[in-house]
Chain A
């Protein structure tokens, strides 16, 4: 292990590197927080929102081993909601407030970078921070109220604390690494893939250090103390136990966190609508183009990551970086990429785990490339070229989050709710304002296989709303929202009018039926508006 570079310390908070990273994190926070409510809630976001709502309103959360991942997201939202003085009534929460939780974890990826600055090298750390801030995938899924960015953050926390423990042999870092792994565990079942990839990379890296790296230090590094490992393991299990048991109110939770692997393994084998070929992630990241849409590519990051890995294995141009750390990072990242590509079950946000590793390596690659040039003007030119590349990534990030936020031509959009659904929501709210019972107006929602999400989130302020998987014996109500798959024809008796179809997602439509008198009352109060 080499021992150069900057080390985090109390005074290190005022180090220029920390100041620059803080500045970048502040800018990223400002940019990432722009119009967080622009994209309609995805099915999964709405489910997470309602689950958080149960915790917020009733103090209850129960881990479900079959779906919806771990407890860290609702509890993190709970903590942030208390800290920011959120309204007591969930009806007054908006999408921005929920998504701000995940944005903070995305920003946290930049704030954790000082912990590994002596592993990556100072300039590489800055490049990595910049690529984190502008990567369309990172920005898009940081603005997504799902578990993925939390998993990536806790993984980075565990790796960074592990690195610091390796360097300092202090128990505090071992405990922090244990906290990180415990929170990974309590976030998403796929944390095991990360752990296996990290263990494999650690083993391979040690073999490389011992047998192939002639320039590595000949002095034997101090062994990690067994008490540190035991402490880390105990903290991991303690954190997981605490969260899965919902703070000791759900005795079955910890056992369910083990049982959960049965349904997830079943899905990984192919029993899922999310089975995709091995190149699914790379296709979306490296070159994605659908007719009449822009060309999307984050290939720059991959190219720089390969350069970063190369310089670590070749031990050339690393300057103040640790070859061993970067090599570990490369082995870990490529193992994780291979694992996620080989598993048939794929949803695009899963790419974030290995893509974050690529971003860290890309930082090393960018710094090494610039450093490899002898002449100052050439270094400047390459630096500017790389900044232009980062600018292109930032432009794509903007497109992905604003213009194409809910558009299937965006590679990161997946089973996304159509903006058309918001028209249905506004129409139902407007009808409730006209109805004599207001928000107590009876609404019946009918769709096969519970295919009405995210409506439970959007219509949560209606107090008399029922949800059916099939047509009930008496489907009639002042307002009925019915899946087009039912071919319901509830307007045949002329008691109701079918006022339109609304797109839930591509190929999934809902019909809105309204009581004739209620519709007439609404029409009387709503004259046509000019365009």
Chain B
């Protein structure tokens, strides 16, 4: 009795098992019909039906042993040791972020947590970072009056080497970002956040933060978007700075 129950269970498990739990990356798909292009490196127009694809001898993968394990910790190796070139801006600018009204898309984040974004603490420790939930999230600043913005600096989290996805900075004339919305930075190359295809490059989080040239754009409101990182689906923010002067 027990054996028959068990054998039934085993068969059921086998059936379940080979139907993958999540959409398998290697699930069979119908391949598109091969092109008769002669050069495999560039798709060229088909000129004759008797052409065949050029077989290029490509190197096979070389087998590799177990790679080095790197634990989490504050002392991560920098991706690049080159110092950042200074940005040239007009004189008399100041960081207006601390005086702004900060809000965000994640309603679970309390106001006192949002104050961490403009308190000058850019440390990599967990106490200096706030977390916004998964998906495309934003932090918004209201400066109270139009400002002429020349530079923006963003620190998401530099506690380990990571790259934030869909980093978008927009300015607007209204709090709902409907009127006169202008992009300052956008590296959402595949438009997964739906705010337009970005042409800026992704970048590594470092202690220097990401310095963005806002080129004197005039606006009262600014939004900082992100959509998780290479490390986590959550959105981390450590500090935001906006260097500007009152708009004339």
Q: Contact residues of A with B, CB < 8 Å?
A: 19, 22-23, 25-27, 29-30, 33-38, 43-44, 47, 50-51, 64, 67-68, 84, 91-97, 100, 273-274, 290-292, 347, 408-409, 414-415, 418, 420, 422, 425-427, 429, 433, 435-440, 442, 444-445, 449-453, 455-456, 458, 460-461, 464-469, 476-478, 484, 487, 491, 497-503, 505-509, 518-519, 522-523, 526-531
Contacts and interface: CB of A to CB of B under 8 A. Distances in A.
A444 B41 CA distance: 10
B190 A523 contact: yes
B43 A435 contact: yes
A529 B192 CA distance: 6
11 contacts: A29-B9, A47-B63, A274-B68, A415-B70, A437-B40, A438-B31, A460-B26, A467-B60, A477-B41, A505-B70, A506-B161
Given A23-B6, A505-B67, A437 B59 contact: no
Interface string B68-89: 1111100011011000000000
Contacts of B53: 437, 440
Residue in A95, A409, A418, A440 whose Cβ sees the most chain B Cβ within 10 Å: A440
A458 B29 CA distance: 14
Contacts of A427: 190
Given A97-B18, A274-B66, A499-B189, A291 B165 contact: no
Interface of B: 2-3, 5-6, 9-10, 12-14, 16-18, 20-22, 24-29, 31-35, 37, 40-43, 53, 56, 58-72, 76-77, 79-80, 126, 134-136, 160-163, 165, 187, 189-194, 197, 199, 201-202, 204, 230-231
A37 B20 contact: yes
A442 B40 contact: yes
State the main secondary structure of chain B at its contact with A.
loop
Nearest to B192: A528
A501 B189 CA distance: 11
B190 A487 contact: no
A19 B3 contact: yes
Contacts of A414: 66, 69
Contacts of B190: 427, 499-500, 522-523, 526
A438 B20 contact: no
A476 B41 contact: yes
Contacts, number: 230
A33 B16 contact: yes
B28 A438 contact: no
A124 to B, nearest CB: 21
A450 B64 CA distance: 6
B114 to A, nearest CB: 20
A453 B64 CA distance: 8
A451 B22 contact: no
Contact of A33 (B13, B34, B76): B13
Nearest to B46: A436
A249 to B, nearest CB: 20
B9 to A, nearest CB: 5
B161 to A, nearest CB: 5
B65 A466 contact: no
Ranked 3 nearest A-B pairs via Cβ? A466-B58, A438-B32, A503-B230
A497 B186 CA distance: 14
B160 A433 contact: no
A364 B25 CA distance: 45
B85 to A, nearest CB: 16
Contact of A437 (B25, B29, B34, B62): B34
Nearest to A22: B6
Nearest to B57: A466
A427 B231 CA distance: 18
A477 B189 CA distance: 19
Given A290-B72, A528-B194, 10 more contacts: A92-B26, A94-B26, A97-B18, A442-B56, A497-B199, A500-B187, A501-B163, A503-B230, A506-B71, A507-B76
